[in-house]
């Protein structure tokens, strides 16, 4: 099987991102599965390599056009020496994370890499660096000119998507509309089919309020917004159901019966997900023309420089990116072949009974 080129943005160099990257690819079994392309600086990579104490060689290059297939490739995004302050948010940490992400994204758009795996960024450091987005998801949605995307947390059979991403709690209710929920359900349905090979996905939609509103006794968003969105999606053939009260839905184990779960806001979905899947879950941005995954943890400044990080989630993010790329490619080819076959049958019907003299 052809080795795919996986671009990796280093995230915040003051956190555990590079440590988990180095630990992941020090395992030759992982390195044999793909061609890693790390966007950052050889000096910064070497600094973290010394902390981890793992001796391996990497290929330093200024472009993803010059890669070695049996090594970690490091694309130098800057040449200057930078001040690393482990465990602390800094403007230079944010700027370097921004440069790494920009370079990787541009190469993904050019086709120089096949997928993107992003190491964690720190929101405070990115704000210092004038990063104008709440997070990776919003940045990539804008850069790829996507009308809408879906933050989807994935672990084994558990897939939890979000209607709203990084919003203050006080702004959540006002941001939730019927059209937004319909768009998110459509994206989830499509990605479950194309990227996870589930032919007829069953999707659960959670309510916004406690007890899913108790039929209007504790808020009416379920009646006026969420339920009408579910009904509209059902009419278009999507197997969506709900709204469910979030606490009972997860507490009773009902979540195991569904292929995808749509939560209304960040902590409603990620709280249960991380409880059930910590260290094994990943974040996947559905609805984009390219594949992007990331580990399900943050920069973990409290662990930076201590060589105590667990690379499990990052390793899973790499393998998930590979799996999704290959599954999507196969399904797109099948879809294209089906369209060609339909066109051929239509042409045959048009020529039915007509003798063509060569």
Q: Are residues 141 and 163 in the same domain?
A: no
Residue 355 lies in a domain: no
Q: What CATH number does residue 257 fall under?
A: 3.40.718.10
Q: Are strands 34-40 and 4-9 parallel, antiparallel or unpaired?
A: parallel
Q: What is the Cβ-side half-sphere exposure of residue 226, based on CA atoms within 13 angstroms?
A: 28
Q: Where are the alpha helices (DSSP H) in 111-226?
A: 123-128, 136-143, 169-175, 178-194, 221
Q: Are residues 268 and 160 in the same domain?
A: yes
Judged against a pLDDT cut of 70, whether residue 29 lies above it is answered with yes
With contact defined as beta carbons under 8 Å apart, do 312 and 279 qualify? yes
| 160 or 278, which is more confident | 160
Degrees (nearest 5) of the Cα angle 328, 141, 169? 115
- How much is the pLDDT for 340? 60
Structure-token pair, residue 45: 């990579």
Q: Are residues 28 and 40 in the same domain?
A: yes
Residue 234 lies in a domain: yes
| Alpha-carbon dihedral 216, 218, 223, 224, rounded to 10 degrees | 110
Q: Are residues 177 and 238 in the same domain?
A: yes
The CA–CA distances, whole Å, from 49 to 23, 52, 183 equal 9, 5, 43
**Confidence band for 278, pLDDT divided at 50, 70 and 90:** confident
Please count the structural domains in the chain.
2
- How much is the pLDDT for 201? 98
Residue 358 lies in a domain: no
Domain boundary among 265, 285, 305: 285
Least confident of 112-116, 153-157, 321-325: 153-157
Domain boundary among 269, 285, 301: 285
Q: Are residues 7 and 133 in the same domain?
A: yes
Q: Are residues 319 and 264 in the same domain?
A: no
Residue 279 lies in a domain: yes
**Each residue of 95-107: pLDDT tens digit?**
999 999 999 999 9
Q: Are residues 41 and 108 in the same domain?
A: yes
| CB-CB neighbours of 326 under 10 Å | 15
Q: Are residues 208 and 345 in the same domain?
A: no
**Confidence band for 357, pLDDT divided at 50, 70 and 90:** very low
- How much is the pLDDT for 298? 94
**Confidence band for 346, pLDDT divided at 50, 70 and 90:** low
Q: Are residues 117 and 169 in the same domain?
A: no
**Each residue of 227-268: pLDDT tens digit?**
999 999 999 999 999 999 999 999 999 999 999 999 999 999
Q: Name the residue among 311, 296, 292, 293 with its Cα closest to residue 18.
A: 311
Radius of gyration of the chain (CA): 22
Structure-token pair, residue 190: 């499509």
Judged against a pLDDT cut of 90, whether residue 347 lies above it is answered with no
54: CB partners within 8 A, 6+ apart = 22, 23, 26
DSSP annotation of 224 reads: I
The CA–CA distances, whole Å, from 309 to 38, 240, 263, 277, 297 equal 19, 38, 29, 17, 11
Q: Are residues 175 and 266 in the same domain?
A: yes
With contact defined as beta carbons under 8 Å apart, do 207 and 242 qualify? yes
Structure-token pair, residue 348: 């045959």
Q: Are residues 108 and 123 in the same domain?
A: yes
Residue 357 lies in a domain: no
**Confidence band for 355, pLDDT divided at 50, 70 and 90:** very low
- How much is the pLDDT for 280? 85
> Which structural domain, as residue segments, surrounds residue 34?
1-146+288-350
């Amino acid at each position: 099987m052809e080795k795919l080129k996986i671009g990796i943005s280093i995230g915040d160099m003051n956190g555990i991102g590079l440590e988990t990257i180095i630990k992941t690819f020090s395992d030759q079994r992982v390195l044999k599965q793909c061609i890693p392309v790390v966007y950052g600086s050889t000096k910064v990579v070497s600094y973290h390599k010394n902390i981890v104490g793992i001796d391996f060689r990497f290929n330093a290059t200024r472009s993803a056009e010059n890669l070695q297939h049996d090594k970690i490739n490091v694309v130098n995004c800057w040449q200057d020496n930078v001040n690393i302050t482990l465990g602390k948010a800094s403007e230079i940490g944010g700027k370097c994370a921004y440069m790494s992400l920009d370079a990787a994204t541009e190469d993904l758009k050019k086709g120089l890499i096949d997928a993107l795996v992003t190491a964690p960024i720190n929101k405070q450091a990115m704000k210092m660096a004038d990063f104008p987005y709440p997070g990776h998801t919003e940045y990539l949605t804008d850069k790829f000119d996507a009308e809408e995307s879906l933050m989807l947390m994935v672990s084994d059979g558990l897939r939890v998507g979000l209607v709203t991403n990084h919003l203050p709690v006080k702004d959540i209710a006002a941001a939730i509309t019927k059209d937004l929920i319909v768009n998110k359900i459509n994206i989830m349905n499509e990605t479950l089919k194309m990227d996870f090979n589930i032919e007829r996905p069953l999707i659960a939609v959670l309510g916004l309020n406690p007890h899913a509103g108790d039929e209007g006794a504790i808020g009416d968003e379920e009646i006026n917004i969420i339920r009408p969105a579910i009904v509209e999606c059902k009419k278009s053939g999507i197997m969506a159901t709900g709204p469910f009260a979030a606490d009972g839905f997860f507490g009773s184990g009902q979540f195991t019966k569904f292929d995808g779960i749509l939560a209304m806001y960040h902590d409603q979905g990620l709280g249960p997900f991380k409880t059930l899947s910590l260290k094994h879950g990943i974040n996947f941005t559905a609805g984009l023309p390219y594949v992007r995954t990331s580990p399900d943890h943050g920069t973990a400044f409290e662990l930076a420089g201590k060589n105590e990080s667990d690379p499990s989630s990052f390793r899973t993010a790499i393998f998930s990116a590979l799996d999704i790329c290959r599954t999507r490619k196969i399904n797109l080819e099948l879809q294209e072949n089906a369209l060609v076959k339909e066109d051929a049958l239509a042409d045959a019907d048009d020529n039915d009974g007509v003798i063509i003299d060569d």
